[in-house]
Structure 1
Amino acid sequence: MTIQFPGNAAPFIATSRNILVSQGITLTIGTDFEEYRDIVAEERPMQKLGAPFDPDLHGLNRSNAFWLIGRSEDGELIHTQAAKRVRLSARPLSGYLLRQFRAFPPPLKGVDLARSRFRATPGTHKINGMAAYHGEFWVAPERGKYRGVGLAPVLGRTGMLEMMQRWDPDWIYGFILNVVAYKGFAARIGYLHLEPSVLKWVVEGRDAPIDTFLAYNSREDLEYLLDIPLSDVVPEAA
């Protein structure tokens, strides 16, 4: 089945391009994760490469994964995100994560994988078939320059549209730390479903575990989301 947008993606692409141009941002999409690893190591030292996109741990190539970066007019790295295809078939995400959740740790030192845990949420029982894992979402921290100016909806939806055009997945999912989720991050980048306490990570030197939300969209959610005019979610796009 191929996704059919009620209109089509052209209005979104045109409007998002105008927003990015107005901010002086250029997007690049690639599939060489050794190149991406080098970019992250050199230009995003404050957040290390996430394990799901480490080419030493996973066979990532043009058929099953991509990365997306944004640069300023000066060539400065101001945004990253990445996605990879996950074939669940008839097995739900809950069964997959029961065995594989340790492959999705937060990008922090000292994570105790043996003491961390996964809890199945209602969404993990529903998600199956062809899925896409969405991660590595980062925006440069200069608030008022790249954060808080309406870029998150554009960048999030751009990544989701790329996943749909490449793989037409039944579902897109990701994990969001509580501290970020409570600030409305998932809603801003375009996730319609959010479920708490899916992954709990024990980290050495921290008094309390780090808790995460599951964020996800179905194909139908994405059809609805990508048909909403950007002017409805980014006032500056009006």
Structure 2
Amino acid sequence: MTGVVNPLQVSRFLRVYDGAAAQKGIKLSIGFDFHEYVSITGATPTKGPTYPNFRPDRSPIKSGDGYWIIGVDKYDEVALLEAARLYDLSHSNFAEHLHSLKAFYADPTVHAHPQDRCTCIAPSAKKITGKVAYHGDLWVRRDFRGQGIPKIISGIARGVSFAMWAPDFVCGLVPRWRVDKGVVAQNGYTHCEPGGSILQLVAYHIVDDDWLIWITGEELRSEIDQR
């Protein structure tokens, strides 16, 4: 994606979502140290396992190529989490990246379990190339669910990803129920397809059959410019 990022426009975009979080009693922060992130997620009750693509011992993230969002309540207790990273798929595509397990491990031959596997049959995944911002590991504490929090954190993540990377695509993998309930559309993703990730990661007890969701870089720029 080409074009200069307008910091003022991004600031206006982010302020809307940051203000919405504050109205819910949540203070948002952004971090870049993924060792710290894994420490936080590991100490967060009811949160499922953090996927290896956000674990620096399995898939190191270079400085500037990833960030995470944390929201705390008035007692400074963790209320929400999400992480994002940039994939350079200029010589590959998202389907291939998933199938090879390189989306999860820096070196699958070293870190993957022999029974780990990932199948991606979503047709559009092969067209997702270039600078790809991947958003995942979303968790919202039970007492904050049903209040539109995912929409808020998704907005923050899209704005930050645009400001940092101006990506060609922003994508994620979600369970079907989020699509069926309209959560994906509410969170700003305009495209979705089944068969995004039929996944098994043995060491993390992860078994998924997720949909692929995405927006293009131009769609993201248009969204931000309209603020």
CA RMSD of aligned residues (A): 2.7
Identity rate, percent:
25
Given the two structures, how large is their TM-score scaled by the length of structure 1?
0.79
1:190–1:225 Cα contact (<8 Å) kept: no
Say if 1:72 and 1:131 are closer, same or farther in 2 by CA, change over 3 A.
same
> How many equivalent residue pairs?
215
Q: Secondary structure at the match of 1:56?
A: coil
Q: Does 1:129 align with 2:130?
A: yes
* Residue 83 of structure 1, CA deviation: 0.7
1:84–1:132 Cα contact (<8 Å) kept: yes
| Residue of structure 2 in register with 1:75 after alignment | 76
Supply the distance in 2 between the matched residues of 1:154 and 1:9 (Cα, whole angstroms): 15
Supply the distance in 2 between the matched residues of 1:99 and 1:210 (Cα, whole angstroms): 16
Among 173, 180, 198, which residue is 2:178 paired with?
Answer: 180
| Residue of structure 2 in register with 1:164 after alignment | 162
Q: Equivalent residues in 2 for 1:2-41 (5 A)? A: 2=3, 8-41=9-42
Say if 1:172 and 1:8 are closer, same or farther in 2 by CA, change over 3 A.
same
| Residue of structure 1 in register with 2:194 after alignment | 196
Q: Equivalent residues in 2 for 1:85-234 (5 A)? A: 85-100=86-101, 103=104, 114=115, 116-142=117-143, 146-201=144-199, 210-227=208-225
1:159-201 alpha-carbon deviations (Å, 9 max, x no partner): 1110111111101111112233322222222111110022223
Supply the distance in 1 between the matched residues of 2:168 and 2:179 (Cα, whole angstroms): 23
Q: Secondary structure at the match of 2:162?
A: helix
Supply the distance in 2 between the matched residues of 1:157 and 1:36 (Cα, whole angstroms): 20
* Residue 117 of structure 1, CA deviation: 4.0
1:119-143 alpha-carbon deviations (Å, 9 max, x no partner): 332211211111111111111112x
* Residue 150 of structure 1, CA deviation: 2.7
Say if 1:114 and 1:3 are closer, same or farther in 2 by CA, change over 3 A.
farther
* Residue 227 of structure 1, CA deviation: 4.5
Matched residue type, 2:115? A
1:13-62 alpha-carbon deviations (Å, 9 max, x no partner): 33223222222211111111111111111124431222110111011243
1:78-98 alpha-carbon deviations (Å, 9 max, x no partner): 111111110011422223233
Matched residue type, 1:177? P
1:98-153 alpha-carbon deviations (Å, 9 max, x no partner): 3126728xxxxxxx8737441332211211111111111111112xxx22223322
1:101–1:118 Cα contact (<8 Å) kept: no
Matched residue type, 2:181? K
Matched residue type, 1:14? R
1:102–1:113 Cα contact (<8 Å) kept: no
| Residue of structure 2 in register with 1:232 after alignment | none
Supply the distance in 1 between the matched residues of 2:101 and 2:26 (Cα, whole angstroms): 36
Supply the distance in 2 between the matched residues of 1:203 and 1:55 (Cα, whole angstroms): 16
Extract unaligned runs of 5+ from structure 1.
Answer: 105-111, 230-238
Supply the distance in 2 between the matched residues of 1:85 and 1:16 (Cα, whole angstroms): 22
Matched residue type, 1:219? G
